[in-house]
Amino acid sequence: MEEEVDVLVSEVGPRDGLQSIKRVMPTEVKHRWIKALAAAGLREIEVGSFVSPKLLPQMADAEAVVCEAIKIPRLKVLALVPNLKGAERAIAAGAPKLTLPVSASREHSLKNINMTPEQAIAQVAQLRALCDSLPAGQRPGIEVGISTAFGCTLEGPVSEDWVIEMAVMLANNGADSIGLSDTTGYANPAQVRRLFTRLFAEIGDKAGGAHLHNTRGQGLANVVAALEAGVTTFDASQGGLGGCPYAPGATGNIVTEDLVFLLESMGLRTGVDLDKLIAARSLIAEGLPGEPIYGFVPDAGLPNGFVYAGGRAAA
């Protein structure tokens, strides 16, 4: 994490957000949207997915988007890769950090990436070997997100012991960090606190961030619990775009604007300028006219007399 930031907000709108919308945002607008998000102070952006363009035409321009995004100074560029083939494409495009979803739910794993959880875990070792075969300085970081870690629309409850067991196997197989994803909006604060506490206890500094959805309105409540467990990285999506096309009923990441407001109002520095962040919403409207976008803070505005570190006035 960079200096002067207490919590890293990792923007996933250009990947998780856009892949859930059938229409395709023009590549040129993606470039400008990502630049605007970085200019608002976001330090990390997941810019695309190297999945088959046949499955997700919205992500067919992932190479071009990565190539443009890595030119932005001080921005950590993430690319989602569903498998080794995707990883090879992402590495060729110059992605400095790869994120691989591994689902705790067997059914979700099969539907989402056509592999069992065990196969997906084994694949991380192959990805580690692939990255290690690259010249030093060109090796991307490997982040794994355990999806459906808090429950699954297909299978229902997911064993917490199994999630932690998976995290240990993933760490042993060479993942640099392992985060937990509430892909389906099933998580509650008690569960979030419990699972992240166990994750830190088991894999220490390989414990990654929280990827939370707001399907049942519990997203920011879960952030509060995760903060208490020691989580310092949170995924979020501008305008609450996002979801998972293979998890029916699971809609919408937590809203970046509302998350940044939460953190800054608690005195946790994100480095984000809320005014510039809210202004960047216009790029979604430009690239996907008429698409509904969400967020309470953009609607209500900042409180009268609100002072925060990232923006209009220093605390």
Give me the residues that bind a second copy (CB under 8 A), please: 151-157, 184-186, 188-191, 214-218, 220-221, 223-225, 249, 251, 255, 258, 261-262, 265-267, 295-297, 300-301, 303-305
Least Å from the CB of residue 35 to a second copy: 26
Tokens coding 298:
């953009």
* Neighbour-count burial for 16-45, b at 16+ CB within 10 Å, e otherwise: bbbbbbeebbeeeebbbbbbbbbebbbbbb
- The smaller minimum CB distance to a second copy, of residues 143 and 264, is found at 264
Least Å from the CB of residue 154 to a second copy: 7
Tokens coding 207:
């414990």
Least Å from the CB of residue 124 to a second copy: 28
- The smaller minimum CB distance to a second copy, of residues 26 and 157, is found at 157
- The smaller minimum CB distance to a second copy, of residues 126 and 265, is found at 265
Q: Give the 3-state secondary structure of residue 152.
A: strand
Active site residue 244: yes
- The smaller minimum CB distance to a second copy, of residues 70 and 279, is found at 279
The residue from 67, 131, 152, 244 that is catalytic is: 244
* Neighbour-count burial for 270-290, b at 16+ CB within 10 Å, e otherwise: bbbbbebbbebbebbeebbee
Question: 292 burial class (0-12, 13-18, 19+ CB within 10 angstroms)?
Answer: exposed
Specify the DSSP class assigned to residue 266: T
Contact 91, 79 (CB under 8 A): no
Alpha-carbon 23 to chain mean position: 21
Least Å from the CB of residue 215 to a second copy: 5
What residues are annotated to the active site?
244
